[in-house]
């Protein structure tokens, strides 16, 4: 891997093209698709094609808008826009239907039309322009998902308006009002009716709002100012999702977009929103990108893989196609800044002094900062929606930048279930975890949730952060007798097994720089063990061990209390310069 300084505009440009250059030879003859092969999604091949084609634009457009030029990519995208929007062409992207994935990808094309029209619009012939407008305009005659997707239609109409073509002002007005409906206050939105609060608030709703604010500053100054105000408020909470060494909190869906985690901060910079100094925001962006480039996120052909710290389809959503990860290029919005902008000469600064424990009630979470690790204790989403591994992404007790979290292969064994940071029940040979979220509340020093793994068992769990980790108090009403395992974090599994131990009341596992232990405080304990999770279940580590205490659950009312201990080696803290 090349070494980058993550400082000058040239550094960030070189980083962008380190990602994009391997794609040059993979565009199809008509340039409307990139031949990445691989797995399928729940949308059709035409949508897969436009996704692969459009997502590199999230990086190329700001590069072009900031004065950059690359003749090969410019020709590819003019050709591809012509081929993909031409119904008579064999590479036509296809007609649209309600809630079509194509609408997602229209936003990147709109981004280009708004900010780099000389590269993606002006040089098209009249016929090519008409075809592209006709294809894009389908978004105004169909329904989009009632969520951050509404911004795709907003941006597409803004692009058509800026190009002097027919657009829908009625759609634009209604959609902007709907975005306002999602606003919760304090900088936070709900991502549509299902209400989850995750990275989509940062790298989708706020990102698009800031893009709108820049594009429509003269047309809609009041609304542009409001989007900026909301982003500034949000930033003071969102900064708590980032550690001193650059890692961001792995939580929620769409984590395969990886460095899109810092797209919000890039959008703040280009919109001149400064909740923190330019140096602080530059530091967040630079350290996060550096961490990602130290990971195994590329495959053997240097193509971004679906996964997190390594290629991993297990944790993917049904909408993750081979081209999906390039959505992360939104992080490069900062390349839109002119060469003389002060950002490029401002040194990256460390994070400001932050609270050790932060209540983010609008996000239904409590966040702690301890020894360089960020841990979020969450209420979790109340909605059930099928995108792939949703309970694991929203309904564990804790999410950590150091320990990560695990998805599961199946519920047929503890090993395949990989129930880190969960209380799992074993009933008739099945491993059952939190699935139905009944209610939850965030207090200043704890999280309380009421939930059920299945009909017949209800649990009230109280999570109290402690200096050593956290304490869990579970009040369980059960109509059956069964076993329950209160599981700690996953730790990287070593080969010799010497870093795992267990006795009757507790267990611990160590690996790499991390250690996690679990200790029964009260309840009907039947033993403790270290679960060797199936490989590739954890998002960060390929092989992991999970310490767990086993309890007997009687019919009626039960109460169990477990302490979770977390440790990070002194050597690791010294390397990251966060030793207190």
Domains of the chain: 9-345 (1.50.10.10), 357-576 (2.70.98.70)
CB atoms within 10 A of CB 414: 21
Q: What is the pLDDT of residue 570?
A: 59
Q: What is the pLDDT of residue 556?
A: 97
C-beta of residue 432 within 8 angstroms of C-beta of residue 447: no
Across the range 243-248, mean pLDDT stands at 96
Residue 18, token pair as written in the block = 């380190």
Whether the per-residue pLDDT at 575 is higher than 80: the answer is no
Interval 58-111: pLDDT, tens? 999 999 999 999 999 999 999 999 999 999 999 999 999 999 999 999 999 999
Mean pLDDT of the chain: 95
Q: Band of the pLDDT at 580, cuts 50, 70, 90?
A: very low
Q: Band of the pLDDT at 350, cuts 50, 70, 90?
A: very high
Q: What is the pLDDT of residue 388?
A: 83
Q: How many angstroms separate the first and last alpha carbons of the chain?
A: 31
In the numeric block, the tokens 């998002």 are attached to 539
Q: Band of the pLDDT at 513, cuts 50, 70, 90?
A: confident
Nearest to 263 by CA among 210, 310, 212: 210
Element (H, E) at 454: strand 447-454
Between CA 194 and CA 387 the distance in angstroms is: 13
Pick from 36-40, 278-282, 417-421, 425-429: least confident = 36-40
Residue 69, token pair as written in the block = 């030029």
Interval 322-334: pLDDT, tens? 999 999 999 999 9
Q: What is the pLDDT of residue 384?
A: 64
Residue 222 burial by Cβ neighbours in a 10 Å radius (0-12, 13-18, 19+): exposed
Nearest to 315 by CA among 253, 247, 257: 253
SS3 category, 401: coil
C-beta of residue 244 within 8 angstroms of C-beta of residue 576: yes
Pick from 233-242, 310-319, 413-422, 435-444: least confident = 435-444
Residue 87 burial by Cβ neighbours in a 10 Å radius (0-12, 13-18, 19+): exposed
Interval 432-447: pLDDT, tens? 999 888 999 999 999 9
Between CA 258 and CA 254 the distance in angstroms is: 8
Q: CB-based contacts of 310: which residues, under 8 Å, 6+ apart? A: 295, 296, 297, 542
Q: What is the pLDDT of residue 382?
A: 64
Whether the per-residue pLDDT at 578 is higher than 80: the answer is no
Between CA 121 and CA 142 the distance in angstroms is: 24
Interval 99-116: pLDDT, tens? 999 999 999 999 999 999
Between CA 326 and CA 59 the distance in angstroms is: 9
Nearest to 247 by CA among 298, 309, 296, 291: 291
CB atoms within 10 A of CB 427: 20
Between CA 538 and CA 484 the distance in angstroms is: 21
Whether the per-residue pLDDT at 153 is higher than 80: the answer is yes
Interval 196-238: pLDDT, tens? 899 999 999 999 999 999 999 999 999 999 999 999 999 999 9
In the numeric block, the tokens 């959609």 are attached to 175
Virtual torsion, Cα 216, 220, 223, 226, nearest 10 deg: 70
Sheet holding 436-442, edge to edge: 436-442, 447-454, 457-466, 469-478, 556-568, 514-522, 506-511, 500-502
Q: CB-based contacts of 352: which residues, under 8 Å, 6+ apart? A: 239, 276, 280
Q: What is the pLDDT of residue 443?
A: 95
Q: CB-based contacts of 43: which residues, under 8 Å, 6+ apart? A: 100, 101, 319, 321
CB atoms within 10 A of CB 332: 27
C-beta of residue 280 within 8 angstroms of C-beta of residue 351: yes
Q: Band of the pLDDT at 387, cuts 50, 70, 90?
A: confident
DSSP 303: P
Whether the per-residue pLDDT at 495 is higher than 80: the answer is no
Whether the per-residue pLDDT at 357 is higher than 50: the answer is yes
More confident residue, 521 or 3: 521
Q: CB-based contacts of 341: which residues, under 8 Å, 6+ apart? A: none
- What is the per-residue DSSP string for 114-148? HH-HHHHTTTS-HHHHHHHHHHHGGGGSS---SST
Percent of the chain's residues with pLDDT above 70 = 96
Q: What is the pLDDT of residue 579?
A: 34
Q: Kindly give the pairing relationship between strand 457-466 and strand 469-478.
A: antiparallel
């Amino acid at each position: 891997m090349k070494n980058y300084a993550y400082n000058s505009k040239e550094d960030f440009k070189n980083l962008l093209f380190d990602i994009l250059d391997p794609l040059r030879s993979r565009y199809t003859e008509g340039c409307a698709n990139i031949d990445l092969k691989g797995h399928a999604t729940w949308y059709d091949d035409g949508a897969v094609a436009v996704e692969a084609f459009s997502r590199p634009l999230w990086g190329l457009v700001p590069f072009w808008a900031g004065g950059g030029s690359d003749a090969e990519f410019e020709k590819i995208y003019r050709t591809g826009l012509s081929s993909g929007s031409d119904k008579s062409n064999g590479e036509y992207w296809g007609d649209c239907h309600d809630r079509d994935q194509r609408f997602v990808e229209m936003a990147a094309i709109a981004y280009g039309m708004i900010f780099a029209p000389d590269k993606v619009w002006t040089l098209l012939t009249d016929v090519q322009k008409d075809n592209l407008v006709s294809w894009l305009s389908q978004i105004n005659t169909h329904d989009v998902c009632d969520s951050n997707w509404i911004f795709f239609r907003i941006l597409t109409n803004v692009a058509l308006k800026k190009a002097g073509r027919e657009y829908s002002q009625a759609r634009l007005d209604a959609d902007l009002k709907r975005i306002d409906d999602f606003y919760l206050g304090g900088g936070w939105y709900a991502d549509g009716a299902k209400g989850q609060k995750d990275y989509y608030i940062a790298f989708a709703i706020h990102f698009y709002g800031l893009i709108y604010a820049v594009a429509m500053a003269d047309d809609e100054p009041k609304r542009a100012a409001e989007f900026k105000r909301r982003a500034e408020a949000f930033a003071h909470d969102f900064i708590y999702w980032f550690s001193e060494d650059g890692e961001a909190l792995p939580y929620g869906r769409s984590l395969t977009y990886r460095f899109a985690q810092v797209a919000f901060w890039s959008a703040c910079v280009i919109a001149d929103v400064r909740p923190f100094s330019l140096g602080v925001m530059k530091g967040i962006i630079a350290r996060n990108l550096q961490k990602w480039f130290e990971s195994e996120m590329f495959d053997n052909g240097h193509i971004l893989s679906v996964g997190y710290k390594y290629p991993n389809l297990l944790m993917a959503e049904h909408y993750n196609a081979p081209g999906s990860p390039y959505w992360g290029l939104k992080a490069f919005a900062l390349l839109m800044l002119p060469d003389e902008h002060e950002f490029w000469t401002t040194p990256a600064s460390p994070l400001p002094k932050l609270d050790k424990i932060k209540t983010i009630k609008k996000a239904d979470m409590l966040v702690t900062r301890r020894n360089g690790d960020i841990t979020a204790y969450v209420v979790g989403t109340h909605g059930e929606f099928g995108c792939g591994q949703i309970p694991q992404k929203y309904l564990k007790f804790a999410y950590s930048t150091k320990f990560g979290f695990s998805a599961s292969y199946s519920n047929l064994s503890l090993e395949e279930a990989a129930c880190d940071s969960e209380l799992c029940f074993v009933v008739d040979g099945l491993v059952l975890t939190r699935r139905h979220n009944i209610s939850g509340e965030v207090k200043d020093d704890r999280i309380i949730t009421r939930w059920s793994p299945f009909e017949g068992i209800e649990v009230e769990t109280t999570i109290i952060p402690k200096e050593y980790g956290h304490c869990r108090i579970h009040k369980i009403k059960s109509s059956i007798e069964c076993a329950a395992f209160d599981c700690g974090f996953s730790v990287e599994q070593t080969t010799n097994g010497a870093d795992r131990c267990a006795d009757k009341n507790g267990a611990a596992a160590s690996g790499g720089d991390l250690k996690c232990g679990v200790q029964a405080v009260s309840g009907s304990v039947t033993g403790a063990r270290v679960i060797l999770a199936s490989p590739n279940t954890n998002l960060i580590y390929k092989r992991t061990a999970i310490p767990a205490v086993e309890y007997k659950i009687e019919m009626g009312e039960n109460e169990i209390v477990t302490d979770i201990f977390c440790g990070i080696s002194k050597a690791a803290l010294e390397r990251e310069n966060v030793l207190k």
